[in-house]
């Protein structure tokens, strides 16, 4: 069965600090997809990144970076030089996308608060 664990329920940092959000997943499939979404107070989930299981190359997008390690089944997300606008709940998600199923399995989320 698929499962996504985000062990950090809440994190609070001061602006300009770096912060890493952890994500550990479980799946029996060799082909799967990993995602990160941001949910600001407005409630709308905002897509941040999608990774497939065959691409372990780390990715950087501005202040955001992602570290995918199949050996530890982890897909961690780092925000460098955090800003107040980064305050939100962040969700990691997994999709096996087999047999026509497209469902995303989400973790419980990590609430990030960036204080000025």
Partner 1 sequence: GAGVSQTPSNKVTEKGKYVELRCDPISGHTALYWYRQSLGQGPEFLIYFQGTGAADDSGLPNDRFFAVRPEGSVSTLKIQRTERGDSAVYLCASSLRGTAMNTEAFFGQGTRLTVV
The residue ranges that bind partner 1 (CB under 8 A) are 4, 33, 35, 37, 42-47, 50, 91, 93, 95, 97, 100-109
The pair phi, psi for residue 33, each rounded to 5°, is -130, 140
Q: Which of 16, 21, 11, 10 is nearest to 80 (CA)?
A: 16
* Tokens standing for residue 23: 């994500």
Dist. CA 17–CA 116, nearest whole Å: 11
Shortest distance in whole angstroms from residue 103 CB to partner 1: 4
Measured from the CB atom, the residue of 18 and 52 that comes closer to partner 1 is: 52
Measured from the CB atom, the residue of 17 and 31 that comes closer to partner 1 is: 31
Shortest distance in whole angstroms from residue 49 CB to partner 1: 9
What are residue 79's DSSP bridge partners?
Answer: 19, 64
Shortest distance in whole angstroms from residue 60 CB to partner 1: 18
């Amino acid at each position: 069965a698929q499962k996504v664990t985000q062990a950090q329920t809440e994190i609070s940092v001061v602006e300009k600090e770096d912060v890493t959000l952890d994500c550990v997943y479980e799946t029996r499939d060799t082909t799967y997809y990993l995602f990160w979404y941001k949910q600001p107070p407005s409630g709308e989930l905002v897509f941040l990144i999608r990774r497939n299981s065959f691409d372990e190359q780390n990715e950087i997008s501005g202040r955001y970076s992602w570290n995918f390690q199949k050996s530890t089944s982890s897909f961690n997300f780092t925000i460098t030089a955090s800003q107040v606008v980064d305050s939100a709940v962040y969700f990691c998600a997994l999709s096996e996308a087999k047999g026509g199923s497209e469902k995303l399995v989400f973790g419980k989320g990590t609430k990030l608060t960036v204080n000025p």
